[in-house]
């Protein structure tokens, strides 16, 4: 069955950068889109970014556009979220998730990695 494991979270100062990784296994990684969704402490879900199966198309929430970059390495079954110019309101648990044949719904999710932006 599909498994997604995030890593790379931690504490970073405002204005800093961080790269999250999402390691995939148990499914054919190269044929599905990958998404990042975040959840601030005690708050709801916010979709952040998406990348098509072949990396040819990227999509971002306005709140992270021009600061975050999503990418993937299909040969190693891993996706990334490069985050820069981090702000306190970027503090959240970041989940990676995959879509599937039924459109842009997210049928498998990782356990999440916490990013805390604080001085």
Q: What does the binding site for another protein look like in residue numbers (CB under 8 A)?
A: 35, 37, 44-47, 50, 59-62, 95, 97, 102-107, 109-112
DSSP state of 65: T
Report the nearest approach of another protein to the CB of residue 38 (Å): 11
CA separation for the pair 13, 119 (Å, rounded): 5
Report the nearest approach of another protein to the CB of residue 65 (Å): 9
Report the nearest approach of another protein to the CB of residue 40 (Å): 12
CA separation for the pair 39, 109 (Å, rounded): 13
Residue among 11 and 104 whose Cβ is closer to another protein: 104
Residue among 73 and 107 whose Cβ is closer to another protein: 107
CA separation for the pair 76, 25 (Å, rounded): 10
CA separation for the pair 38, 12 (Å, rounded): 16
């Amino acid at each position: 069955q599909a498994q997604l494991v995030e890593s790379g979270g931690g504490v970073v100062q405002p204005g800093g950068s961080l790269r999250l990784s999402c390691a995939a296994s148990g499914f054919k990684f190269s044929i599905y889109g990958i998404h990042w969704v975040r959840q601030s402490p005690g708050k709801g879900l916010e979709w952040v970014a998406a990348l098509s199966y072949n990396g040819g198309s990227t999509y971002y929430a306005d709140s992270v556009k021009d600061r975050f970059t999503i990418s993937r390495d299909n040969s190693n079954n891993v996706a990334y979220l490069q985050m820069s110019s981090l702000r306190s309101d970027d503090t959240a648990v970041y989940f990676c998730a995959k879509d599937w044949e039924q459109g842009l719904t997210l049928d498998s999710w990782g356990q999440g990695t916490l990013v805390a932006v604080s001085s």
